[in-house]
Structure 1
Amino acid sequence: MQLLLLGLAAAVVWKLYQLTRSPHDAPLRSVTLCLVCAALSYPLAMPGGASGVDTVAGHGAAKLLQNVLLLLTVYFLMCFYLYSADGRTGRRRARWEALVVAGVAVAITVAAETVPHSVFAGSFSTADMTVPQIAFFYGGAGLYLMYALGMAGWWTRRYARMSRRPHSTGLWMAAVGLDAMAVACAVRAVIVVIRWAGRTVPQPLMEGVAVLLMVSILLFVAGITYSGARARIASTRLWLRHRRDHRRLAPLWRLLSEAYPEIVLRPASPATRDRWRARGVHRRYHRRIVECRDGLVDISPYVVDEEDGALLDLDSAELAGRLREAVARIGQGDPAPRRAVPLAMALGSDRKSDVRQLIAVSDALRPAA
C-alpha cells in the first residue's frame, strides 16, 4: 500500500506540474483529476484514514467517500480519452457520462444510508452481502468501474497501436493495467452475486483479487508516466554531462581568457540564479564552447609554425604546450606573426566530436596531480 501511494503521489506531482504549464489542456486536466481522485481515495482505505473521516463525518463515511472517489477516478480517465479523440462530440459524451457516474454515486449513497451503520461496517471481504443494499453498493460500484476501465483499456490499446516508442511502451503498460483492473472488478462482481446468494468464496481468491487490483494500478500509473519519466531521465543525463564538460573545459577557458579577456561573453542572467537551473547549465556550457573557439582563433597565429601551415590535427599535449608558450608571448606584447588558422578541429562536422577535441586539449592543460 505504501508503494502504491508513493507511485500515485509522484504521478500527481508530475501531472500537476504539467498542468501549471498548460492549464487549458482538457485531456491533461482530466488525467490529472483522475490521479488526484485515485490518490485521495487510497488513504481512506487505510485504517487510520478511515477512522479519522468516520470520527468527523460519521461511521461509514470513509468507505462511501472512497468509492465515490474511485467512480470519479475512472470517469475522469474516460474524459481524458473523450477529450483527446472526439473533440466536440467527446465533450458531449463526457457530459452524458457525468450524468451516469452521478446516478451511480447517488444510488450507492442511498443504499449505504438505508442500512444501519453496524451492517455497513467492515471491508469488501467481511461485509454481509446477503443484505440487498450492501450487495447493491459493492455490485453497482464494481460494475461501473468494470465498464469505465474496460472502455479506457480499449482506447489505450487503440492508441498504443498507432504510437511509436517510447510512447507506445507506456501505453501498452497502461492498457494491461486497465484491462487487469477491469477483470478484477468483474471477478468482484461475480463474488458479490455468489455471496448475495448466501454462498462462501475461498479467502485465497479474495486476496488474489486484491493483489491483482494493487499490481494493475501500479502498472497503470507506471505506464502513464513512462514517457515523461524517460524524458526527465534523458534530460538529467544531458544536464550532468554538460556540467561535467563545462568543468573540464575550465583550464583551456582560463588560459584563453587570460590572453583575450574580450572573448568572455556577458551572461544572460546572474550566476547565482543560473548555476543550477537546467537552462542555465546548458547556456553556460554552450557559451564556454563559443568562448574557447573564439580564443583559439585569436591565439592561433602564435601557435602554428610556418611549416605547420593550417594544421588542424596537432596532438592535444603538443597543442597544450604551444598554447602556454603563445600566452607567454602575448603577455610580452609580441605582435601576431601570421593570419589566424583553425585549431583542435574535429574531422567530422558533429558538435560532439568538436567538444571532445576541446576537452582533450583542456585536459592536457591540467596540472599533473
Structure 2
Amino acid sequence: MYLTAALLLLAVLWKVYQLFQAPQDRALRAVTFCLLCTAGSFSTGLPAENHALNALAGTGAASLASNVLLLCAVYWLLSFYLHSATDCQRASRRARLEAVPLAMAVIVITLATIATPAGVRGRPYGTADLHTPQVAVFFIAAQLYLVYALATTAWWTGRYARMSQKPVTIGLWMTASSLVSMAAANTLRIAMDLIAWHGSAVPTGLNKSVAMLFALAVPAFVVGLSYPGVMLRLAGFRIWRQHRRTYRRLRPLWQLLHEAFPEDALHREPAGLWRENLTVRGVHRRYYRRVIECRDGLVRASPYMAHQDVQTGATPEALAGYLRSALRSQAAGEPAPTHAIAVALPGENSLDADARQLVALSDALATRG
C-alpha cells in the first residue's frame, strides 16, 4: 500500500510540474487529471482519510468519493489517448461524448448510495452486503463503466504503442497490460457481485485472482505512465554528466591556449557559479564554449606547428609536445608560416567527436605536465 502511495505521489508531482511547463497541452492535462483522480481515489481508501470523510459528509461518503474519482481517472485516461491520437477538435467532441456514460454511472452510484440503508452503506467491497439490491447496483454500475472505459482505453493504448518508438512504446505497452488486467479484474468482480446477489457463495479462488490482478495492475499502470518521461530525463542526465566531465577534462588544453590567445575567449553575460555548475543549460553552454574555444586556439597555434613536420595520425602525446613547442615559439614572437594545418581532427563531422579528440590531447598535456 505504501509503495503504491509513494509511486502515485511521485507520478503526480512529476506531471503537475510538466503541466506548469506546458499548460496548453491538453493530452498532458488529461493524464495529470487522471493521476490526480487516481491518487484521490487511493487516498480515500486509507483508514484516516476514510474516517474523516465519513464523519464530515455522512456514512458512505468516502466509498462514493473513492468510486467517483476512480471512474473519473479512467475517463481522463481515455481522454488522454483521444487527444494524443486525433486532432484537437475531434478529440474534444469525442471526449464530451465519452462524458455521457461517465455521468450516467456517477448518477446511478450516487442514487444507489442515498437509497442504501444506513446500516449497510459505505462498507468496503470485501465486506459489502451484496444481498442488498442498492449495494449490488452500486458496485455493478461502477464496474460496468470501468470495464467499458478500461477496455476502450487499452485498445487505444495498444494502437498508439504500435505507432510509437522507445522509450514511449515500452511505457505504453506496460500501461496497456495494466489496463487489460484491470478490465479483467472488474469483469470478474461483476460475476462475483451477481453470484453474491443471488445468495450463492463466491469461490475463494475467484476472489484471490481479482486481488492479485489489481495488486499487479495498479503499480504497473503508474510506472507505465511515468516510464517515458523518466527514461528521457535519465538520458538527459547522462548527456549532462558527459558534458560536465568533458568540460573539466578539457581544462589543461583550454588553459594553455587561453593564456596564449586570451582574445579568443567567447564572452557572454556572467552567471552565478551555482547555476553554471548544476543547471542543465549552464553545463551544456560551458561545454560548447570550451570545445569551440579549444578548437579556435588550435587553429591559431597550428601555423607554428607547420614547420615541425607534424605527421598525420600523430598520437595525442606527440601532438602535446608539438603544441607546447609551437606556443613557446608564438610567445617568443617568432614569425609563423602563412598556412594552418589540421590538428587532432575527428574521423566524423560532429561536435562530440571533435570533443573526444580534444579531450585526448588535453589528457596528454596533463600527463606530460
The reply to whether TM is greater than 0.5 is yes
Distance 1:80 1:168 in 2: 15
SS in 2 for 1:118: coil
Q: Secondary structure at the match of 2:127?
A: coil
Whether the 8 Å contact between 2:244 and 2:283 is mirrored in structure 1 is yes
Could you say which residue in structure 2 is the equivalent of 1:297?
299
Question: Which sections of structure 1, spanning at least 5 residues, go unmatched?
Answer: none
C-alpha displacement of 1:180: 0.9
Aligned to 1:206: 207
> In the alignment, which residue of structure 2 is the partner of 1:39?
39
Aligned twin of 1:76: 76
Alpha-carbon deviations, 1:323-345, whole Å to 9, x = none?
A: 33333343344343553222111
2:282 aligned partner: 280
1:14 is aligned to 2:17: no
Tell me which residue corresponds to 2:145.
144
Q: Secondary structure at the match of 1:117?
A: coil
Deviations 1:185-235 (A, max 9, x none): 111111111111112224453233123113112222222333222221111
Q: Is 1:363 aligned to residue 363 of structure 2?
A: yes
Q: Secondary structure at the match of 2:125?
A: coil
Task: Indicate the residue corresponding to 1:343 in structure 2.
Answer: 343
Kept after mapping to 2: 8 A contact 1:242/1:285:
yes
Whether the 8 Å CA contact 2:101–2:145 is kept in 1: the answer is no
Tell whether the 8 Å contact from 1:4 to 1:214 is kept in structure 2 after alignment: no
CA deviations over 1:125-150 (Å, ceiling 9, x no partner): 11111011111111111111111101
Q: Is the 8 A contact 1:125 1:206 kept in 2?
A: no
Letter in 2 for 1:325: S
Cα distance change of structure 1 residues 96 and 357 upon mapping to structure 2, 3 Å threshold: closer
How far apart are the structure 2 equivalents of 1:349 and 1:83? Answer: 39
Q: % of aligned pairs identical?
A: 44
CA distance in 1, matches of 2:238, 2:194: 53
Counterpart-to-counterpart distance in 1, 2:231 and 2:133: 48
Partner Cα separation in structure 2 for residue 319 and residue 142 of structure 1: 73
Distance 2:356 2:191 in 1: 64
Query: How high is the TM-score relative to the length of structure 1?
Result: 0.92
Preserved contact between residue 63 and residue 123 of structure 2 (Cα < 8 Å):
no
Q: Which whole-Å deviations, capped at 9, do the CAs of 1:248-297 have from their partners, x for residues lacking one?
A: 10111011101111121113551433332212211111110100001111
**More displaced stretch, 26-35 vs 36-45:** 26-35
Deviations along 1:3-51, whole A, 9 cap, x unmatched?
Answer: 2222222222232233223222222211211111001111111212212
Return the alpha-carbon distance in structure 1 between the equivalents of residues 9 and 336 of structure 2.
63
For the 8 Å contact 2:307–2:337, the answer to whether it is kept is: no
Larger deviation, residues 71-80 vs 267-276: 267-276
For 1:254 and 1:363, how far apart are their aligned partners in 2? 13
SS at match of 2:336: coil
Given that 1:274 and 1:280 are in contact with CA atoms closer than 8 Å, whether structure 2 keeps it comes out as: yes
- Larger mean CA deviation between 150-159 and 176-185 belongs to 150-159
Unaligned runs of 5+ in 2: none
Task: Give the whole-Å Cα distance in 2 for the aligned partners of 1:232 and 1:59.
Answer: 44
CA distance in 1, matches of 2:270, 2:212: 52
Count of residue pairs the alignment pairs up? 367
